[in-house]
Structure 1
């Protein structure tokens, strides 16, 4: 364990570094308050229809120093007062993670402060412990059920403490974020497709089209069947009318959002009944989708036992703030990591389970 050269502080200043995919995020936290949260997106992937891992890693190398300078400047802090560096160790793209790890190690060694390695999925859930980070402006009490929905992950997680988490269900194939992107491509939208579907769903009739819900036992998800069902339906209708998508784009998008939101809700509801835990926390980039938020909010109002926590949209996508707050909590618990723990890590196997 690396011993901090600075005295332990009950209100520490922690740097959070996020580089798991294509967004470069650096944040400065002072205790539970976020002083700055800089995210630099890599728009180059749009022309490839998805994230290119090698390009993502190269752009992180360029963006990390820029994001760090912006974060420090906006936070208005002296670097000598930083207490620790937290960073995403995984899961994510290996090249991107290695670049972020190297940057974090260099800061740690240069400033003489400890490293705090963070699990990306746990950080998405812990974002709710940033002061005023959700629509309730309250911290969720343990235990709670977390639904992590993003481009790479779809999981229901039982959270019994900050770092005591158990995966109850996961997608067996496609994540919900990839599902949105693949369906969007069928409709002629560019990457990322999820926001485009949400945009065109406005004003659409979400009851116009009905698609088949996958039958998956337990609390796991499967979206490949839904993707195939929608693809086959669109191809069939295009044979009848070559302008089918154009004529029905708003209703199609609204109907697609509706069924995905219902699939997510039904599984989470099943999880609450089996665990008897009725505090539900949403997180991840797809949790910014308004139809999903409306569906869960409407159900929570009807089902009085539920207590729903929705993150503010600035904290839904990958960002440094979620890594910083996870670092703050680890710092409070004195869970520091030595440099030797970091440089020999095996990113392929570390994060299959919490």
Structure 2
């Protein structure tokens, strides 16, 4: 089954072509970072307009790259939520219009299910069941995954997601948007141990997260340094280092707790923050002590992309699922509401 995937949930336009027999054939991505950087964050209206400009040319590019004609497609998958409503509507409208014109089914895919399944694109991929850490700018969740569509939320952030906290701390430190990679680079030059930041909620039972207090602690540290000696370049590096260490340690502790609680030995980490090198390294070391394994997507598939949507959509289209006549986008969409998928139907 040959599926075209389209991702337009926020500020990246992603298109990919996935074949359930041959794997990923082609993909392309356009990032809107340069458009939003001057505003310090995503402007929804600008994001929607740019998806309108970029989506169709990217579809043509991917089809040409794979040497594929529209008549060869078996279906189109697109992100139906969660995300920015205007951006979602651009992708949904285009995908459903093309599907109607080409006489093939379309299917709205859950954005976070796409992230969760992104490691399946790799040659060595996890087997069910496993624990998934979904960590991005908008989400920080721990999910038990027994099969595609069989999800149980174990814990989530009660306020800021980890990626959102990185972006807000970047602003405090005078770093450009998007902040996460800039904070990580600054942290590499930091002095480990100069500042000790709290690990929020690790001493409480359960698997929920909270990063708002850590964000406030970081701001107070910045103010203290500025008031005492002026904020030096080394201060910025040391604060970034302490903040990153606190976030990473918190995520690692909760992941180990989730594996122990559920009696599982496989962990999947996906989402934009999963590209963080320190998080990958420390998580790998921590779970290896208990005989567990960690799986990640390739770095290019950590952020929003069309490949993950094409893969997730292919599995559901293969199982016979497709859009109803009244299908609509869902800016808020709990993943537990997704219908299950028969494991025997899954390929690739």
Provide TM-score, normalisation by structure 2.
0.92
Alpha-carbon separation, structure 1, partners of 2:326 and 2:334: 15
CA contact (8 A) 2:115 2:270 kept: yes
Structure 1 residues 177 and 349, CA gap change in structure 2 (3 angstroms): closer
Alpha-carbon separation, structure 2, partners of 1:169 and 1:126: 19
Question: Who is 1:303 aligned against?
Answer: 290
Alpha-carbon separation, structure 1, partners of 2:332 and 2:272: 24
Post-superposition offset of 1:203 = 3.7
The superposition leaves residues 87-112 of structure 1 with CA deviations (integer Å, 9 ceiling, x where unpaired) of 11100000100111001111101110
Question: Who is 1:40 aligned against?
Answer: 30
| 1:28 and 2:17 are equivalent in the alignment | yes
Aligned positions, number: 333
**Which runs of 4 or more aligned residues in structure 1 lie more than 4 Å from their structure 2 counterparts after TM superposition?**
none
Alpha-carbon separation, structure 1, partners of 2:332 and 2:284: 36
Alpha-carbon separation, structure 2, partners of 1:66 and 1:14: 17
Question: Who is 2:8 aligned against?
Answer: 19
Alpha-carbon separation, structure 2, partners of 1:263 and 1:349: 26
| 1:98 and 2:83 are equivalent in the alignment | no
Question: Who is 2:309 aligned against?
Answer: 323
Question: Who is 2:345 aligned against?
Answer: none
CA contact (8 A) 2:248 2:278 kept: yes
Structure 1 residues 350 and 299, CA gap change in structure 2 (3 angstroms): closer
Tell me the SS of whatever aligns to 2:326. Answer: helix
Aligned pairs (5 A) from 1:1-354? 12-31=1-20, 33-42=23-32, 43-130=34-121, 133=122, 137-215=123-201, 217-244=205-232, 246-304=233-291, 306-338=292-324, 340-342=325-327, 345=328, 347-348=330-331, 350-351=333-334, 353-354=336-337
229-238 or 328-337: bigger deviation: 328-337
CA contact (8 A) 1:90 1:351 kept: no
Alpha-carbon separation, structure 2, partners of 1:348 and 1:326: 18
Alpha-carbon separation, structure 2, partners of 1:60 and 1:104: 12
Tell me the SS of whatever aligns to 1:341. Answer: coil
Provide TM-score, normalisation by structure 1.
0.90
Alpha-carbon separation, structure 1, partners of 2:273 and 2:108: 24
Post-superposition offset of 1:206 = 2.9
Alpha-carbon separation, structure 2, partners of 1:64 and 1:230: 39
Alpha-carbon separation, structure 2, partners of 1:64 and 1:44: 16
